[in-house]
């Protein structure tokens, strides 16, 4: 094995930390996180013990959708720095042993992208319009949208130009969908992948990977409920097939992408953000000739019960085994309310959130952490409406801003060391207890819990590879073995005696003698025999 092949399978059991760049660390005092700020804080991530970081989009963008509206896929937006800052950050990350995954946004561009600008300036039927999805409207004078599709952010998925044609946007009107039937679009993204792979990135997180291909003829969905994005996603999860998501044709694209990734040394990978109507269909995104991973959002939707977690874990592991790919686990990300809040908020939410982290980090496969979960941050629910920036907020009242509040690093007043000046969203006063500085070296802090778990995960071979074996446990208790280690999660109503599982090596809450309290988890190790 040569040096390049060594570590090529790093992505199979990695812990990946999601950096929401504009809220991670600000170096220049404009209140917005940037690449230089991230670079300064890389030692923190090295010490946390993660294997890789995933950066949300930092490309040139009007930031209508937090950078998921890209105008130039090969340039850094000035608010985040420039390409030299990116290269310096990447070199440092690699020197610290951290891999770097970046977001790629292929389903849509920004409306300010030169292609869309050219399309708007060109007449209907022109090659410039071919790159997007333009159609004539229905009804008298074509005044009705071409079909009944709704935007994930609320309202119609179509917007009309003054010349009468409509264009499709599954997300915001400022995010027109590309026409992936066009070879030119495919070629462009293949070149974008190579551009970043040549710079040395270790992989990509593929945004809306299930969206690129639309059903032929763009048929009506057949209902019109004006639902918001959460309801829409649950519909998908309930098994509804939508003509703009998860069409078979998307797989052809990723088979080509896999060949590109495999043509580079060192184990370059891609993880799909995909939603499909069943676990089987989701598993089709991964495999030796497609993408390496797909996010498993079912884990994030599991309720606080043995049955729910067990079902989600069993299903995910079975699907992953079938396709020979690792499964992934996600508790929080930049689109969902933070899990501390989902689990009830306050002291209860934090207890459960810490237990869930130990559960996740004991499972086989890849764990994705979202910045701030290692600090036990909760969702900020009381942001003033005028500061909210999520485009969905204006259209549906739903907002993802509460999980995007800049990280608290130190000090006793907002923005808690985020940067030299303010922050684009205000942190609550309660975060004074959650700063990195307040938690570092404090036994029992959430940061030290994550560090301990990540250290053990690295040190214990059974946690890196290997199977999961369920252990019979008391009612309300989830227990499974990974080699000599047992992970026990108390989801019940009574403290549980954990002596029979081994000696505790890490726990999310203090044990009471031999008893693991309610809403807590522990890893225990069997003494070697003899």
The residues that touch ligand NOJ, with contacts defined as CB under 6 A, are 65-66, 68, 105, 171, 207-208, 273, 334-335
Rounded-to-integer distance, Cα 143 and Cα 279, Å: 39
3-state helix, strand, coil in the chain (%, to 5): 35, 15, 50
Instruction: Say whether 207 is catalytic.
Output: yes
- As separate numbers, helices (DSSP H) first and strands (DSSP E) second, the chain gives 17, 20
The strand pairing partners of 522, in sequence order, are: 488, 507
The 10 Å Cβ neighbour count of residue 272 is 25
Q: Which pair of structure tokens corresponds to residue 27?
A: 């170096």
Rounded-to-integer distance, Cα 444 and Cα 448, Å: 7
Q: Could you tell me if 38 and 76 are in contact, meaning their C-beta atoms sit under 8 angstroms apart?
A: no
Burial call 398-429: b when 16+ CB within 10 Å, e when fewer: ebbbbbbbbbbbeeeebbbbbbeebbbbbbbe
Residue 39's Cα: distance from chain center in Å? 20
167's torsion region: left (phi>0), alpha (psi -120 to 50) or beta? beta
Shortest gap between Cβ of 65 and ligand NOJ (angstroms)?
5
Residues 6+ apart with CB under 8 A from 500: none
Nearer to ligand NOJ, 180 or 416 (CB): 180
Question: The tokens 């598993």 sit on which residue?
Answer: 283
Classify 159 as helix, strand or coil: strand
Q: Could you tell me if 93 and 100 are in contact, meaning their C-beta atoms sit under 8 angstroms apart?
A: yes
Task: Compute φ and ψ for 367, nearest 5 degrees.
Answer: -110, 130
Instruction: Say whether 273 is catalytic.
Output: yes
Nearer to ligand NOJ, 68 or 418 (CB): 68
Exactly one of 207, 246, 335, 373 is catalytic; which is it? 207
Q: Which helix (H) or strand (E) holds 105?
A: none
Shortest gap between Cβ of 53 and ligand NOJ (angstroms)?
16
Shortest gap between Cβ of 391 and ligand NOJ (angstroms)?
8
CB-based closest residue to ligand NOJ? 68
Shortest gap between Cβ of 177 and ligand NOJ (angstroms)?
11
Three-state SS annotation for 129-146:
HHCECEECCECHHHCECC
Rounded-to-integer distance, Cα 54 and Cα 45, Å: 12
Nearer to ligand NOJ, 208 or 294 (CB): 208
Residues 6+ apart with CB under 8 A from 244: 149, 157, 170, 211, 214, 215, 218
Shortest gap between Cβ of 273 and ligand NOJ (angstroms)?
6
Cα first-last separation, the chain: 37
Q: Which pair of structure tokens corresponds to residue 183?
A: 């070879």
Nearest Cα to 21, choosing from 65, 55, 68? 55
Shortest gap between Cβ of 392 and ligand NOJ (angstroms)?
8
Exactly one of 34, 51, 103, 273 is catalytic; which is it? 273
Nearer to ligand NOJ, 105 or 357 (CB): 105
Biggest CA-to-CA distance, the chain: 85
Rounded-to-integer distance, Cα 459 and Cα 243, Å: 46
Q: Which pair of structure tokens corresponds to residue 111?
A: 């409306």
Q: Could you tell me if 399 and 334 are in contact, meaning their C-beta atoms sit under 8 angstroms apart?
A: no
Shortest gap between Cβ of 395 and ligand NOJ (angstroms)?
12
Nearer to ligand NOJ, 68 or 196 (CB): 68
Shortest gap between Cβ of 456 and ligand NOJ (angstroms)?
30
Shortest gap between Cβ of 500 and ligand NOJ (angstroms)?
43
What residues are annotated to the active site?
207, 273
């Amino acid at each position: 094995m040569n040096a390049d092949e060594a570590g090529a399978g790093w992505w199979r059991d990695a812990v990946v930390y999601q950096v929401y760049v504009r809220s991670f660390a600000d170096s220049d005092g404009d209140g917005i996180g940037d690449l230089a700020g991230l670079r300064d804080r890389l030692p923190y991530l090295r010490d946390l013990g993660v294997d890789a970081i995933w950066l949300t989009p930092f490309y040139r963008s009007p930031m209508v959708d937090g950078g998921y509206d890209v105008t130039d896929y090969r340039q850094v937006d000035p608010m985040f720095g420039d390409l030299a800052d990116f290269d310096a950050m990447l070199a440092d990350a690699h020197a610290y042993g951290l891999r770097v995954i970046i977001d790629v946004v292929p389903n849509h561009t920004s409306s300010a992208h030169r292609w869309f600008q050219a399309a708007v300036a060109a007449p209907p039927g022109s090659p410039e319009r071919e790159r997007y999805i333009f159609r004539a409207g229905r009804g008298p004078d074509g005044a009705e949208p071409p079909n009944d599709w709704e935007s994930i952010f609320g309202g119609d998925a179509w917007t009309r130009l003054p010349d009468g044609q409509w264009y499709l946007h599954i997300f915001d009107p400022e995010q027109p969908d590309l026409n992936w039937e066009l070879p030119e679009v495919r070629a462009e993204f293949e070149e974008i992948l190579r551009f970043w792979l040549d710079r040395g990135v270790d992989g990509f997180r593929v945004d809306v990977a299930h969206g690129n291909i639309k059903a032929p003829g763009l048929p009506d969905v057949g209902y019109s409920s004006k639902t918001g994005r959460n309801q829409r996603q649950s519909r998908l999860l309930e098994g509804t097939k939508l003509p703009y998501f998860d069409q078979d044709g998307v797989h052809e694209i990723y088979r080509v992408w896999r060949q590109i990734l495999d043509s580079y040394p060192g184990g370059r990978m891609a993880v799909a953000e995909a939603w499909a109507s069943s676990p089987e269909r989701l598993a089709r995104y991964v495999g030796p000739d497609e993408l390496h991973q797909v996010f498993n959002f079912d884990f994030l939707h599991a309720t606080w019960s043995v049955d729910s977690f067990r079902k989600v874990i069993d299903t995910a592991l079975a699907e992953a085994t079938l396709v020979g790919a690792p499964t992934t686990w996600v508790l929080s990300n930049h689109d969902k309310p933070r899990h501390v809040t989902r689990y009830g908020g306050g002291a209860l939410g934090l207890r459960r959130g810490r237990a869930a982290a130990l559960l996740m980090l004991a499972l086989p496969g890849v764990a994705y952490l979202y910045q701030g979960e290692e600090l036990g941050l909760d969702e900020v629910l009381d942001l003033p409406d005028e500061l909210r920036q999520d485009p969905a907020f204006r259209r549906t009242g739903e907002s993802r801003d509460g999980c995007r509040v800049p990280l608290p690093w130190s000090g006793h007043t907002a923005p808690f060391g985020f940067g030299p000046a303010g922050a684009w969203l205000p942190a609550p006063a309660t975060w004074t207890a959650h700063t990195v500085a307040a938690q570092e070296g404090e036994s029992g802090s959430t940061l030290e819990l994550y560090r301990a778990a990540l250290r053990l995960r690295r040190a214990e071979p059974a946690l890196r590879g290997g199977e999961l074996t369920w252990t019979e446990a008391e009612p309300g208790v989830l227990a499974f073995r990974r080699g000599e280690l047992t992970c026990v999660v108390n989801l019940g109503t009574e403290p549980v005696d954990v002596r029979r599982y081994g000696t505790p090596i890490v726990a999310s809450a203090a044990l009471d003698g031999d008893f693991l309290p309610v809403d807590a988890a522990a890893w225990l190790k069997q003494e070697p025999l003899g």
